[in-house]
């Protein structure tokens, strides 16, 4: 026996087995630690912050480079990777969007999408996400227009970005993972919190 106890950021607590099944524990966590040597000397406590976000869904199609005009995502999971879309993007019910390091010149709208992720992306228009059945993750992203979240099933993650305005209704308040999103015009409205 190695004498180790394995930590868990989810609801399962501590375990002596590294193979025990556990919940992922998404969110922001402060991890505290200290060392104990063979003769029982106890070191000073230290701490660090770790943030776990859900992994993106697996891509069924990938868009890279330049896409001229509107982009309609009818089904599956479309990933924009280093892409530039020169028109608006629409995500249909049951479809999903993952945009990484990409730019959308128009607006972004979804109704009944399974997931929407904007990771270090830019949207030069408005973003309106309605009735997202899975998760919404907007990290390190700049939205020139307003970001409106309506009826999101789980708490959206809005961290480290910038939006023109922010309005939430009919769903849980967003979480910022300790890195608030800057709102350029006014204060967040509706259920977004102060």
- C-beta separation of 165 from 189 below 8 A: yes
Q: What stretches of 3-85 show up as alpha helix (H) in DSSP?
A: none
Rounded Cα gap, residues 133 and 9, in angstroms: 24
pLDDT tens figures, 6-54: 666 666 666 666 666 766 677 777 888 888 888 989 989 998 877 777 7
pTM as predicted: 0.78
- Are β-strands 115-119 and 96-100 bridged in parallel, bridged antiparallel, or unpaired? parallel
Q: Using DSSP, state whether 57 is helix, strand or coil.
A: coil
- C-beta separation of 162 from 144 below 8 A: no
pLDDT tens figures, 66-117: 999 999 999 999 999 999 999 999 999 999 999 999 999 999 999 999 999 9
| Cβ neighbours of residue 177 closer than 8 Å, sequence gap 6 or more | 27, 28, 51, 53, 139, 157, 159, 160
- What are the structural domain ranges in the chain? 1-52, 61-190
Nearest to 129, CA basis, from 95, 159, 100: 95
Q: What stretches of 127-171 show up as alpha helix (H) in DSSP?
A: none
pLDDT tens figures, 114-170: 999 999 999 999 999 999 998 899 999 999 999 999 998 888 999 889 999 999 998
- C-beta separation of 33 from 45 below 8 A: yes
């Amino acid at each position: 026996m190695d004498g180790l106890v394995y930590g868990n950021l989810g609801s399962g607590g501590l375990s002596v087995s590294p193979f025990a099944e556990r919940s992922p524990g998404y969110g922001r966590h402060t991890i505290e630690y200290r060392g104990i040597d063979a003769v029982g000397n106890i070191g000073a406590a230290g701490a660090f912050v770790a943030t776990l976000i859900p992994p993106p869904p697996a891509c069924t199609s990938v868009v890279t480079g330049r896409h001229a005009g509107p982009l309609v995502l009818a089904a599956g999971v479309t990933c924009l990777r280093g892409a530039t879309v020169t028109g608006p993007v629409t995500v249909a019910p049951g479809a999903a969007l993952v945009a990484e390091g990409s730019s959308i010149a128009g607006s972004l709208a979804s109704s009944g999408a399974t997931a929407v992720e904007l990771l270090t992306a830019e949207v030069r228009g408005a973003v309106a996400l309605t009735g997202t059945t899975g998760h919404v993750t907007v990290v390190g992203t700049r939205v020139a227009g307003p970001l409106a979240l309506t009826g999101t099933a789980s708490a959206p993650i809005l961290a480290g970005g910038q939006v023109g305005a922010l309005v939430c209704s009919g769903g849980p308040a967003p979480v910022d993972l300790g890195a608030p999103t800057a709102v350029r015009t006014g204060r967040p409205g509706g259920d977004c919190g102060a």
